[in-house]
Amino acid sequence: DQQVKQNSPSLSVQEGRISILNCDYTNSMFDYFLWYKKYPAEGPTFLISISSIKDKNEDGRFTVFLNKSAKHLSLHIVPSQPGDSAVYFCAAREGGAGSYQLTFGKGTKLSVIP
């Protein structure tokens, strides 16, 4: 049973527009969420995170929104650039002891079209 779900395997966006990547989770014990970006032949690279005590975290062009009641988070990229084309993984971590384990979604492949 997938505890972290990224239901869109792929997304295409025009350069300069907003990219919105979505992630849903089922485990109510998750209290910390991360987005990783992965280019081909490389490992996942940390992008941005959010704690469950917040509903928004912004870093430059990247903003993550968390809706705890809906168990949903999203990553917004504005404006999208061709270099943003990559696979984006949503990950989550439980609070308390044993909270080092990251649970990942299957990823969403973003293509930004010039």
Partner 1 sequence: GAGVSQSPRYKVTKRGQDVALRCDPISGHVSLYWYRQALGQGPEFLTYFNYEAQQDKSGLPNDRFSAERPEGSISTLTIQRTEQRDSAMYRCASSSDTFETQYFGPGTRLLVL
Nearer to partner 1, 43 or 114 (CB): 43
Distances from the Cα of 2 to the Cα of 19, 80, 104, angstroms: 24, 29, 9
What single-letter DSSP state applies at residue 99? Answer: T
Binding partner 1 (rule: CB under 8 A), the pick from 52, 57, 103, 111 is: 103
User: Is residue 11 a contact residue for partner 1 (CB under 8 A)?
Assistant: no
Binding partner 1 (rule: CB under 8 A), the pick from 1, 43, 70, 114 is: 43
Q: How far apart are CA 20 and CA 35, in angstroms?
A: 12
User: Is residue 3 a contact residue for partner 1 (CB under 8 A)?
Assistant: no
Nearer to partner 1, 1 or 42 (CB): 42
Nearer to partner 1, 14 or 51 (CB): 51
Neighbours of 20 (CB within 10 A): 17
Residue 98 exposure: Cα atoms within 13 Å on the Cβ side: 4
Binding partner 1 (rule: CB under 8 A), the pick from 1, 83, 100, 114 is: 100
Which of the stretches 11-19, 57-65, 66-74, 100-108 binds partner 1 when contact is defined by CB under 8 A? 100-108
Q: How far apart are CA 90 and CA 5, in angstroms?
A: 8
